[in-house]
Structure 1
Amino acid sequence: MHKTHWQKIRHRLHQHPELSGNELATARFVTSRLQQLKPDRLYTDIGGYGVAACFDSPHPGPVVLFRAELDALPINEINTFAHRSVTPGVSHKCGHDGHMTILLSLASYIADNQPERGTAIVLFQPAEETGEGARAIVGDPAFSELAPDYCFALHNLPGHPMGQVMIRSGSFNCASRGLTIELTGKTAHAAYPETGISPASAIAELIQTLPGLASNISQDERVMLTLIHCTLGEAAFGTSPGQAKLLATLRSESDSAMHRLIETVTDHCHAIAAQHSLSIGFQWDDVFAASRNDAECAEYVAQAARECGQPVKWLDEPFRWSEDFGAISAASRGAMFALGAGEKTPQIHNPDYDFPDQLITTGTDIFAAIYRQLLRET
């Protein structure tokens, strides 16, 4: 079909975004498009609203999975073009509308060029933005039926030349997680603060010391702790505070370094809380595992890019941003790559970002080339 067909689909998806865990209408739309292609197997409601279509060959061979994301972000779009989001406060500011369109286009290609061996799977995953979707997919009993041997994913990336493929073996995206630290003491009259237990000194000490802990975890990889938000007491001049809350993001290139960072940070927080006679609690959110690329799979990506005439850049270090595809690639051999979305394209998560339509063909062609390498060679 002419590429304007896929542009219309992408614009339709862009207009009707849904937040993580609420992708019901998006999943139904994707399912209806896949049903028209008559896959051999179609799974719905995997790990939430996940959808997977399988194209089976009668001959043995590898099971190859290609993945895209269903969810959008809680960002109000400021663009004024005709396909802007119709849902206030929600928009596709990460390009998942484009990723889904690429995968639907790939599914159409596979339907017209059936695998000569093995099985091809297109997977549309929910809740990537919260880090919950891929883990839920892998934990779903249906995933054991899919049982991929190889898995591939892409992410568009503004600030880089249009169509440039960025790849590396080993760590590709960092592990990350959000930490909320809650300190509880006892309120008091502001005129008699000594009769209470204020967390002010403890929270100040944590603000000063927590970021530096990360630098002692590993000399071989990037490990970071970024302070995000802090509250102390209430806006009441007559009250000495009894509670404080501090939010931080932990980040590392490997899961092992993340585990060491968690242990170091929580031990440090417990010690400071005890010194100030405070109780302490922790809450973890937006948990992303590190995404690691298999060396052979990374080379499949590079070979496919070269076949499609796209420039390849081998990265010296992983990207700092996180992506929950790591949960899927940890369950099979896989690779994620970044696809340049243009130096002047607004950054992802910006309110004026929009996925470049020209990447639909580029992404489809690269995925199709990987597909041919693994499932169409005889």
Structure 2
Amino acid sequence: MSNPNLALAVELRHQLHAHPELSGQEIWTKARLMEFLREHTHLELVDRGDWFYALCRGRGEGKIAFRADFDALPIEETCDLPYRSQCPGVSHKCGHDGHSAALALLGLTLEETGADRDVYLIFQPAEEVGGGGEACAALLKEEGIGEVYAFHNMPGYPLHTVALREGTMNCASKGVTFRFEGVSTHASTPELGRNPAQAVAGLVAALPGLTRREDHRGLVMATVVQMDVGEPAFGISAYRGALLLTLRAQYQQELDTLQERLTVLARQAADRDGLKLTMEEQDVFPETANHPAAVEKVRAAARRLGLPVVEMAEPMRGSEDFGWYLRQAEGAMFLLGDGEDHAPLHSVDFDFPDPLLETACKLFQALI
């Protein structure tokens, strides 16, 4: 790998870091990435609206894809970096600036080396809210792409360490809101109204029994993120209520079953108390289930490059919308260590380590 290419990728990463954009708002980011590849390569660029991909035509048969996300987080940057965020309240505290710069570095490398098969570089928005992966993953079926890979940087592992897992790599999760609406009345005559407090409290009380570890094959969780019942007015009996939960499970089927059971309980409570029930979903992430053959390819590539490999005993609890891709083609998500003492993801002191750009690029090359 030429040092000028690496320097360009580092500079790009710093530019992306300085101009972070939230999920669904990544206009400058997408434009800058396309401009960078257009300026430094002859790769085919295909604009798909809020995302794009670059294509290196290969010399032989077969197709492979790599994905990078490029959205940032609603976190104020407080650490003193020369390329610190210029956008108040927004910063790259998950490393997506590094993911995109690493994939762009692969583009620079392919410009020099070419490839033995077609290589697709997919640049995706809105990973943090689960809003980008499904649409981008459809490209795999459209183009008949048989393999797909991505990485995430991860504090806690030694720098350049490759962490792998067959099967579930990232748990499935989704946000679910149960809204109850009753009838208002004076607080002195609650029997004349319809109060949702018992319905909301009953759902919360049921959560421990629905998520017992001994009743499931893998991890199953339901986290209360907000409860909102009534108004701060002592003369009015509560008549509106909402319960917001994050459901999480190692296996997609067990998450779906948990949601079904909660829905049954919510409907029963609404019928019992004479309430209107509505339900909403958001931030939907499927299970990211790595294919064993693809994991073995990453493992072999890492060993050829002399990189340390860690076999993960448990999946990541945090979700990843790369799971959409793995429903369409064989592939794997893997982790690259940021350093054992590196600041945690989503913390104010986090910054993607630039040395990982070359490591990720070399691993992608080896997989090609």
- What is the rounded CA distance, in whole Å, between the counterparts of 2:149 and 2:55 in structure 1? 15
Q: How far off is 1:39 after superposition? A: 3.9
Q: Indicate yes or no: 2:302 matched with 1:296.
A: no
Q: 1:144 to 1:202 in 2, by over 3 A?
A: closer
Q: How far off is 1:82 after superposition? A: 1.6
Q: Indicate yes or no: 2:20 matched with 1:17.
A: yes
1:133 match? 132
- One-letter amino acid of the structure 2 residue matched with residue 53 of structure 1: A
What per-residue deviation string (whole Å, max 9, x for no partner) do you get for residues 247-305 of structure 1?
A: 11111112222221121111111112222222211110000010111111101111111
Q: How far off is 1:98 after superposition? A: 0.5
- What is the rounded CA distance, in whole Å, between the counterparts of 2:272 and 2:150 in structure 1? 48
Q: How far off is 1:198 after superposition? A: 1.1
Q: Does the aligned pair in 2 maintain the 1:217–1:260 contact within 8 Å?
A: no
1:57 match? 58
Secondary structure (helix, strand or coil) at the match of 1:203 reads helix
Secondary structure (helix, strand or coil) at the match of 1:204 reads helix
1:271 match? 268
1:337 match? 334
Q: Indicate yes or no: 2:253 matched with 1:250.
A: no
Secondary structure (helix, strand or coil) at the match of 1:341 reads strand
More displaced stretch, 206-215 vs 177-186: 206-215
Q: Does the aligned pair in 1 maintain the 2:179–2:243 contact within 8 Å?
A: yes
Q: How far off is 1:100 after superposition? A: 0.6
Secondary structure (helix, strand or coil) at the match of 1:186 reads coil
2:121 match? 122
- What is the rounded CA distance, in whole Å, between the counterparts of 1:196 and 1:164 in structure 2? 60
What per-residue deviation string (whole Å, max 9, x for no partner) do you get for residues 287-343 of structure 1?
A: 001011111110111111112221111122211110001101210111000111112
Q: How does 1:1-378 map to 2 (within 5 A)?
A: 1-2=2-3, 3-45=6-48, 48-59=49-60, 61-116=61-116, 118-139=117-138, 144-215=141-212, 218-371=215-368
What per-residue deviation string (whole Å, max 9, x for no partner) do you get for residues 106-148 of structure 1?
A: 11111111112x2011110111111120112134xx5544331
* Percent identical residues: 38
Unaligned runs of 5+ in 1: 372-378
TM-score, with structure 2 as normaliser = 0.95
- What is the rounded CA distance, in whole Å, between the counterparts of 1:359 and 1:120 in structure 2? 21
Secondary structure (helix, strand or coil) at the match of 2:246 reads strand
- What is the rounded CA distance, in whole Å, between the counterparts of 2:137 and 2:213 in structure 1? 33
Q: 1:323 to 1:345 in 2, by over 3 A?
A: same
What per-residue deviation string (whole Å, max 9, x for no partner) do you get for residues 81-109 of structure 1?
A: 12111011111111000111111111111
Q: How far off is 1:245 after superposition? A: 0.8
Secondary structure (helix, strand or coil) at the match of 2:320 reads coil
- What is the rounded CA distance, in whole Å, between the counterparts of 2:232 and 2:316 in structure 1? 40
Secondary structure (helix, strand or coil) at the match of 2:211 reads helix
- One-letter amino acid of the structure 2 residue matched with residue 130 of structure 1: V
- What is the rounded CA distance, in whole Å, between the counterparts of 1:5 and 1:276 in structure 2? 63
TM-score, with structure 1 as normaliser = 0.92
Unaligned runs of 5+ in 2: none
Q: How far off is 1:212 after superposition? A: 2.5
- What is the rounded CA distance, in whole Å, between the counterparts of 1:160 and 1:261 in structure 2? 32
Q: Does the aligned pair in 2 maintain the 1:39–1:53 contact within 8 Å?
A: no
Q: Does the aligned pair in 2 maintain the 1:57–1:114 contact within 8 Å?
A: yes
- What is the rounded CA distance, in whole Å, between the counterparts of 1:353 and 1:203 in structure 2? 37
